[in-house]
Structure 1
Amino acid sequence: MEQKMKRRFKNLIRNNWQLYILILPAVIYFFVFNYLPLYGIQIAFKDYKAGLGILDSKWVGIEHFKNFFNAYYFKRLLTNTLLLNLYNLLWSFPVPVILALLLNRIRSDKVKRGIQTTIYVPYFISTVVLAGMLYIFLSPSNGILNYALSYFNHKPIDFMSESSMFRTIYVISGVWQSAGWGTILYIASLSGVDQSLYEAADIDGANIWQKIRYIDIPTIIPVMTMVFILDCGRLLSSNTDKALVMQTPGNIPTSDIIGVYVYNVGIGSANFSYTAAIGLFINVINFILIISVNRISKKITDVGLF
């Protein structure tokens, strides 16, 4: 049996060696940048000192986790991070779907390409540039929004310093930036729909909304489900760069999320073991979420990532 398995393996390599060579760079990349760094996870359980190295640093067990759970700002950090991602998921998930369905109804290829190019462009704007645009547009002195409010005799509002406005600005700007790019998967799925289905629907007298409901939406449900599962696996992970550059002294009560806290403590105070423990905690929770949502999805829709 063992000899048979070895012979089968050799034949598999001999017949498909070109494919294995083709995939080898990707395997090396993920091994070097995704698997080898897992060795450093142990610093979450040690009092890591750069001079001593990982192996010689003192083992402290789950002390860093206890310190984080007992931290004064733990509840605020967890609440802010979770709410920010929930609101972002609530709005950023359906918008690309709606845009893709509407784009699929456009019959002029020229118009369709023009709209797609327009909505893709914001995705390539860097986080710092986007934050700069927000500060300019929402400026209380010469921002375009406050300029419009002045026509209604409304007092200027410093939106970026209002803690109650942070999540709204974060989510809306995120939807504007990424919604167009998010349509790519759905448009690709819709492009594979058999045109005879639309022709049959026309013969039966179906209108546009009925075609969307009975042809387009069922086609993209598997993709929607997979995207939703992946998004649920990031509920405790946020765009730290964006939150950091958008943070002001006035909006700290809502902009102080786990990612920003990790940056300030890890980079600012060089407390690497403590922040590694926080990162491990976030990843474990995200892993549990993605497994749970995937299992629920498979029971309800029979569609899942694995």
Structure 2
Amino acid sequence: MIDQNLWIVKTVSDEDRAYKSIEGYNDTTKSTYNYDDSVPNHRQLKVGDVIIIVNKIKILGFAKVESIATEKGLKIRRKCPHCGATNYDARLHKSPLYRCNRGHEFDEPIEETVDSIKFKAEYPSTFIEPSRDFSISEIRPYYKRNYNRNLSIQALDVKFLEEIFPAMSRQFFVRNSYPGPDESAELLPIATENPYQLSNVDERAIINSQIKARRGQRAFRMKLMTRYGERCMVTGCKIKDILEAAHISPYRGVKDNNIHNGLILRSDVHTLFDLDLIGIEPDRLEVKIADTLKGSSYDKYDGVALQCGHSIQPSTDALRARWQSFQRRKESSP
């Protein structure tokens, strides 16, 4: 978790904003977050930081910032005509229409055009919707500083994800590392690999009578990324830190570290694939999700095509055997 921070970023639509002292930021919740140099913490938010996007009521999603674009521009700032305060609320049933945080009431704010540096944090490949509704009121104990409803970007203790959304914590904060006896081995040219032969013979070394070593995992991951690209083959996620090498036919020995027996998957998708909650139809290379995932954020991947070229597809035999395992799991589920 070095050099990574966790932030709450609040997005509010024009219709929902209680006060309109500045123009809206035109956020696209699932891919971009916009702010400017008037927003506290605008310089602290960095590429690689994890953000939790919220509105006034609940969490909308989680993401890892992939890039931040900046540009100079102008913006309209609206202020209380009595004291110049920029924080004021619209009053729905009283007149005058507005009341500032210093108690002044008025119908028309004064406007000024000021220079501005605009920021756009982008995360199109890492956004994940929450699996359940979660009220922002439940986040308050985890703010690093006291909660302030007027701040759009606020620092959060990483314990929030560790304790409430541990899967998100593992996905966004844990760097993948696969040490092994041959982790520094040079990569073999892809053309020298023999076709993958499906086998049920278990060749794994037993360590302390319990742990089965995964030898060569790092080299296996690197070869798969060379073959398929540095992206999740299901979601398209390009954050290398959370991409893992997944075995189609379960690992039983070094022979299974064959590039035809592997996929590059985002860490959470890898887990679901290992649990046979996500399957890949071997003939059409179509992703399917188990019934237990229906209605979740994984719905959008049901029926999508596995991201690989026609000439570099994984082993059909391995996919077919794994598909049968997925089907058996599906049939046995209540």
| The structure with more helix, counted as a fraction of residues | 1
Higher relative contact order (CA 8 A, sep 6+): 1
Same fold at TM > 0.5: no
TM-score, reference length from structure 2: 0.19
| The structure with more strand, counted as a fraction of residues | 2
